[in-house]
Structure 1
Amino acid sequence: MGNKTKGLLALVGLGALAYWKYKKSTPEEQQKVKDKINTAKDNFNKWGNDLKSKANDVASQVQNKANDVASQVQNKAEDVKSQAENAIN
């Protein structure tokens, strides 16, 4: 058996054990488990949203920087053009 198979079997075994313990526990204990799962889910969603907003911030910073560079290049090109025209005249 490969390590992945052993790991998967161990995970399935742990899941089955946890499920069995959950089914045998009192309604109060079951509610605690549900609360923990919901808290974990909320934290995960919040983390995902934070990540999305950070990614959007970075993307807009990159876009702003690209626009700045583009306008600097354009200004430089216009300067060079007018210098060339002045040199010719």
Structure 2
Amino acid sequence: MGNKTNGILALLGLGALAFWKYKKSSPEQQQVVKDKINNAKDNLNKWGSDLKNKANEVASQVQTKVDEMKPKTEDPS
């Protein structure tokens, strides 16, 4: 438990420090931080939808393979 708690406390400390620095910075600097966060969010969303598209692609390829195999197994002749 000790290590996990220390890690969480360190993370909270870093967050608090970052927040304090953010509050002390100029509006321009705050805007830079906001832009970075928004860019990170956009990248994450893009990555997420890329991943979803890939998964759908693979799923449809698998479905195609299954469909290709069906007639061979169902055809009695």
User: Which residue in 2 is equivalent to 1:68?
Assistant: 68
Root-mean-square deviation over aligned CA pairs: 0.9
Higher relative contact order (CA 8 A, sep 6+): 2
Which runs of 5 or more residues in structure 1 are unaligned?
80-89
User: Which residue in 1 is equivalent to 2:10?
Assistant: 10
How many Å separate the matches in 1 of 2:71 and 2:53? 27
How many Å separate the matches in 2 of 1:72 and 1:24? 71
Residue-pair matches, total: 77
After superposition, the C-alpha distances for 1:42-76 in whole angstroms (9 at most, x for unaligned) are 0000000000000000111111111111112123x
Which runs of 5 or more residues in structure 2 are unaligned?
none
Shift in Å at residue 39 of structure 1? 0.3
TM-score, length basis structure 1 = 0.83
After superposition, the C-alpha distances for 1:5-42 in whole angstroms (9 at most, x for unaligned) are 01000000000000000000000000000000000000
Matched, 1:37 2:37: yes
| Bigger radius of gyration | 1
How many Å separate the matches in 2 of 1:28 and 1:39? 16
Identity of aligned residues (%): 68
